[in-house]
Amino acid sequence: MVVKTVKVSQKSRRGFWFFIILIVVFSFIGFKTYRWVKQSLWDGQNRFNLVVNPSGDAAVLIVSFNPTEKKVNALVIPTGTFIETIHGYGPYRIEAIYNLGELNGQGGQLLSGSLQYYLGLPIDGFIAQQNSFLKNGREGLHLFVLDQFYGALKGKGKTNLSRWDLLRLWWFFRNVRSDKVNLVDLGQTSASELIDLPDGTQARQIEPERLSRIMSQLFLDEGFKKEGLSIAVLNKTEHPGLASSVARLITNIGGQVINIGQKGLVGEVKNEGCELRSKGEVKNSYPLRKLEQVFSCQWTGEEKEDQRAAVVLIVGDDYWRRLNFP
């Protein structure tokens, strides 16, 4: 009887420790998953724009995921294309912008911020991996993008996406039908033209008005457009043109901008941040949440500056500094 009792006790102890180990393992997995989900940038329901910078001498790719239509649009920006960078660096070749930003550890932020400002397009995430190149055609695009996600999941290169984002975007792209993938090379469109530089080399420049038409065709945000909210954009800084650049981005993704103007500064309480104003019933609508995310705005109440628009977006010095200083 004594020996039998000891055996049962040993089995119980083994079972107890096995149970404890299982709890620790599942708790760890649960905690990691919770962090991935909490840090996620994509809600899984609305359009998500991702810039992929494969190497320092290759074309840059913008991939737009459209879960509503289970569709993907991709825009190739060829090497040698000059765009205006943020942070005061001036015009730069697209393939060199990431490495320029890496000089102060902000390669992805400089590239995505410059593209957002210059193209008038929200850039939600980036992946940067060296020594990978985009191959021709839809099949090449499919293999290339899946490889980018796979590499990022293995910790290669740099990205601002969480593991949860990477897994979901990988799964979404993997299951998109080939006829639902649209690939456009900007260099083959009327928006891009070759120019001769003073040093005898050639580069590409982009015609802004034609570019805006391409942006609105490829990157229309159905969730934004569906609400149909009229928007006024006001500039409360002393820097001209800020409201116009913001309005261009909103229009490109399907927003209805009905007024662009200047907000009076005399006698106002100092508030340098971006403000959103609207009726309370649309405070939590998708368009306002998207504007909050893109421009780092805060909803500040229902007073709409005597504007007829349903939503008033007021841009402050914080956003101007975001464009002009590292």
What is the tens place of the pLDDT at every residue in 241-256? 999 999 999 999 999 9
291 and 142 in one domain?
Answer: no
Task: Yes or no: say if 74 and 60 are a contact pair by the CB < 8 Å rule.
Answer: no
67 and 209 in one domain?
Answer: yes
28, exposed or middle or buried, with CB in 10 Å at 0-12, 13-18, 19+? exposed
Boundary of a domain, candidates 217, 247, 278: 217
Please tell me the pTM assigned to this model: 0.84
Neighbours of 87 (CB within 10 A): 19
Task: Name the average pLDDT for the chain.
Answer: 86
pLDDT 10s digits, 14-40: 666 666 676 666 555 555 554 555 668
Residue 262 sits in which domain range? Answer: 220-324
Tokens matching residue 106 = 């902000």
pLDDT 10s digits, 185-200: 999 999 999 988 888 8
**Does a structural domain hold residue 197?**
yes
210 and 76 in one domain?
Answer: yes
Residue 7: what pLDDT?
52
Q: Taking 70 as the threshold, does the pLDDT of residue 268 lie above it?
A: no
158 and 81 in one domain?
Answer: yes
pLDDT band at residue 122 under the 50/70/90 scheme: very high
236 and 211 in one domain?
Answer: no
Q: Taking 80 as the threshold, does the pLDDT of residue 279 lie above it?
A: yes
167 and 71 in one domain?
Answer: yes
**Does a structural domain hold residue 65?**
yes
pLDDT 10s digits, 133-151: 666 667 788 888 998 999 9
Q: Taking 70 as the threshold, does the pLDDT of residue 286 lie above it?
A: yes
210 and 113 in one domain?
Answer: yes
103 and 62 in one domain?
Answer: yes
Boundary of a domain, candidates 183, 217, 251: 217
**Does a structural domain hold residue 94?**
yes
Q: Can you give the CATH number for the domain in which 244 is found?
A: 3.30.70.2390
**Does a structural domain hold residue 256?**
yes
**Does a structural domain hold residue 232?**
yes
Percent of the chain predicted with pLDDT > 70:
83
188 and 300 in one domain?
Answer: no
pLDDT 10s digits, 224-243: 888 899 999 999 999 999 99
Neighbours of 99 (CB within 10 A): 17
SS in 3 state form for the chain? Answer: CHHHHHHHHHHHHHHHHHHHHHHHHHHHHHHHHHHHHHCCCCCCCCCEEEEEECCCCCCEEEEEEECCCCEEEEEEECCCEEEEECCCCEEEEHHHHHHHHHCCCCHHHHHHHHHHHHHCCCCCEEEECCCCCCCCHHHHHHHHHHHHHHHHHCCCCEECCCHHHHHHHHHHHHCCCHHHEEEEEHHHCCCEEEEECCCCCEEEEECHHHHHHHHHHHCCCHHHHHHCCEEEEEECCCCCCHHHHHHHHHHHCCCEEEEEEECCCCCCCCCCCEEEEECHHHCCCHHHHHHHHHHCEEEEECCCCCCCCCEEEEECHHHHHHHHCC
Q: Taking 80 as the threshold, does the pLDDT of residue 326 lie above it?
A: no
**Does a structural domain hold residue 200?**
yes
260 and 115 in one domain?
Answer: no
Boundary of a domain, candidates 217, 247, 280: 217
302 and 235 in one domain?
Answer: yes
pLDDT band at residue 305 under the 50/70/90 scheme: confident
Number of domains in the chain: 2
**Does a structural domain hold residue 36?**
no
**Which residue type sits at 202?**
Q
149 and 52 in one domain?
Answer: yes
Q: Can you give the CATH number for the domain in which 149 is found?
A: 3.30.420.590
Q: What is the mean pLDDT of residues 49-73?
A: 89
**Does a structural domain hold residue 10?**
no
